[in-house]
Structure formats: structure tokens, C-alpha cells
Structure 1
């Protein structure tokens, strides 16, 4: 079974309430998909299958782009740490000239490809860690990326460098602990319904910020 077939075989097609324009291959519970992933990869203690869920940051970003397509229309867009790819799909639907989705999890890249095909859009999925690459984008979308100290320390200097190089970096955060306290310019806030299986509350307030150099 190839990765895209694994994604399709262990998820159902759903349309998130906040972004019904987009259909996604999503899991309904985290434990079964996590166990299936471990079995399929013949590995234990792997990262949770973040790609199988539409997280608050991605949902809020997708809603923003579909409501305000001018933010990405005709531009080169990167969806960084793309997860299921909902923000990348929204960018493509909003008329971006090109869209890339970056992930270090091969199954996440497979999920992005499967979800892009489901919605009839084209998204490039480069392999490997893109952090450190020179800027080739006009807009960089980063949803829900400041949830761990090592992750934030790895990516934030690069994202600020991308902003300094001229990209608009939109950082969507639902109140994660390691969000930087300065160098942010708020753009919009959404209240996102969540599940208690994944979060510690029934809804989260997501603020999309422009990251300053």
C-alpha cells in the first residue's frame, strides 16, 4: 500500500464546519489512526499523525484566504508545517500562482497530495526539512507551529529571515506556550471549535499574526 492509499484507507472525507468549501481525508479519533500508522510503518514511538486532523491554526488561515483571496492571488505561497494541507488548498483555491506544502513527515506529504487531489488543486510537496532554504515565496503560512520549545527555536529565526527577505509570514496561533511575545502584528482572530480528544478545551481563540523581521 502506498502512502496516499494508506491515508485514504484510514480516514473519512469530511468538510470542516468553519471551511465547508474544502473536503479533507480526516480521522475521527486519534488512537486508531496512530496505532494503524505504527503498524504500517513497523515502528513504535512515532510522532502523532497530526496530518489526520484539521488543526485550529490551519482552519483559521484557510478561512482568511478564502474570505480575502487577494492576500495570495497571483503569488507564490508556502504552507509551512502543512499538516493536512488545508491552508495550502485554500491558497490554491484563492488563486495563488504556485503553492508548496512543506512537511518532514512523509505521511503528511501524502495526506496533502490526497487532499489536493480531492479538491482539484495542484500543490507541490518538496521532501525534507525546508528550514534554511533561501526565500522563493511571496507569502508563507505557518499554522500552529509554536507548540514545543525545540520546534519554535528551530523555525522562528528562519521565518523571521523570510520576513526580512520580503515574504509576508502569517503565523496562526491558538494560544500555544511558545508563541513569541514580540514582533507580531495581529491580522484577524477566529474562535475555532475543537475536540477534547486533541485539545484541553472545546474551543480555541486563534489569532493570525504577521511575523515581523
Structure 2
């Protein structure tokens, strides 16, 4: 009888993050440090080899994606968008956007991600930046945004089923009175025709992740009335 693999616990996940990343400044937001992969492809391959048998996703948490960088920069430069407010960082990954919100004066930040490795990374990254972010495992897309004044979404419109669920969540949250900010570098399923562009940034990236070393990345908000 073959033994079933045992999922690592929280301590093992934190150790994995620390062992496979370096604490580095974010290119567009150098005032923030993140535990990120030095060699993107090497980490991707290692997670496939070591973690695939227990059904875990790719290590999106180990990179500062273009949409998240632009959104974090926008929040840091426009502190009034989050200052004193309760913020939800949806699909948080590394926690970059939520950390930026706390650095910009948010009253609280809850970062939601379905990947338990992301939860470990968020905790480590928040501690490295001297802020408190509540990390919650899950995707949160079937619920409401009640209790949050601001919803931040960094670089999530990259596949159609997810984009459809995201848009439905955004519509509900917007009707409920939450401010919505979306960072996106031109992903295929962003509903641009329904959004208003607030700002645009040239974001340094790597060709291991993107098709160019600089990604023109916009910050958007809903273009329809809240009610």
C-alpha cells in the first residue's frame, strides 16, 4: 500500500518560502521588500516536482506581478484611497498590494488567497515590512465585500472563468459601496469597456514571467454607477 503524501504544515511552508526566495525591494515600489524567487523557472520547476503530488498550485506568491506593482504604487502615491479604511486584498499572492495599503495608512487589511503557500508568504512579507496583514486562505469570490471600504485586485484577469467570477464579485462589492481598484497589464479577460482608467505605469518585469522587460500597466476602477 502506497502512503498518501502529507501536506506540509504552516512552519514547513514558511521554511519553504524562506529557503527558495530572497528578500528584495519591489522594482516599482522599492520602499517595500518581498520574499521573491531569484530564479523564476527554477522555483516553478521545484514546486512542480516536490509539491504536485499533494495538488498545490504554481508559486504565484513568489513574484511581484506587474498588475500588483502598479496597484501598489498607485496606493502608495494616493494614500487617501485607503487611509483609515478597511481594505480587502483579493487574490493577494505575495501580499504586496495589502502591504502597500497598510504602509499608506489603511486601518486594516485582509489578504485572501486560495494557496496556503501564499498565506505563509504574506505573513513573512508583512513582518519584513513592519505591518500587520490578516491573511485568509480561500478565494472569497462567492461572498460579499461587507465590512470592507476598499477592494484591491492585482493582476487576476488572466483566465476567463476566474475573470467572470471576479467581475460578478466586483459588481456586488461596488453596489455595496466599496471602492474598487484593479491593477492590470493588459490581460486578455479584463473587461476594459466597463472600467475607467485612473493611471498607467511602466513596470519593470522579467522575461521569465512576461513578454517584455517593461509592461505598460494600468489601474482601473468600475465605470458604472454604484447603485
Are 1:65 and 1:72, in contact at CA under 8 Å, matched by a contact in 2? yes
Matched, 1:207 2:198: no
Aligned equivalent of 1:21, options 8, 31, 47: 31
Please state if 1:183 is matched with 2:194: yes
| Structure of larger gyration radius | 2
1:151 Cα deviation (Å)?
Answer: 1.1
Deviations 1:26-61 (A, max 9, x none): 002222212332344352875321110000111111
**Partners of 1:205 and 1:111 in 2: CA distance:** 26
* SS of residue in 1 equivalent to 2:46: helix
2:124: which partner in 1?
A: 114
For residues 149-168 of structure 1, the aligned pairs below 5 Å read 149-168=160-179
**Pairwise CA RMSD of aligned residues?**
1.6
Q: Tell me if 1:6 matches 2:16.
A: yes
Q: Is the 8 A contact 1:142 1:172 kept in 2?
A: yes
| Alpha-carbon distance in structure 1 between the residues aligned to 2:44 and 2:53 | 11
Tell me whether 1:60 sits opposite 2:70 in the alignment.
yes
Write the distance in 2 (CA, Å) between the matches of 1:118 and 1:10: 16
Which structure 2 segments of 5+ residues have no match? Answer: 1-10
| TM-score of the pair, normalised by structure 1 | 0.94
User: Are 1:170 and 2:174 counterparts?
Assistant: no
The alpha-carbon deviation at position 96 of structure 1 amounts to: 0.4
**1:148 counterpart = 2:159:** yes
Q: What TM-score, normalized to structure 2? A: 0.89
- Once the two structures are superposed, residues 77-105 of structure 1 have per-residue CA deviations (whole angstroms, 9 ceiling, x without a partner) of 01111111111000011110110111011
Which residue of 194, 200, 208 corresponds with 2:205? 194
Q: Tell me the number of residue pairs that the alignment of Structure 1 and Structure 2 aligns.
A: 213
What secondary structure, in the 3-state scheme, does the structure 1 residue paired with 2:94 have? coil
CA distance, structure 2, for counterparts of residue 48 and residue 5 of structure 1: 17
Partner deviation per Cα, 1:119-174 (whole Å, 9 max, x = no partner): 11100112222112222211111011111111101221111110111001101110
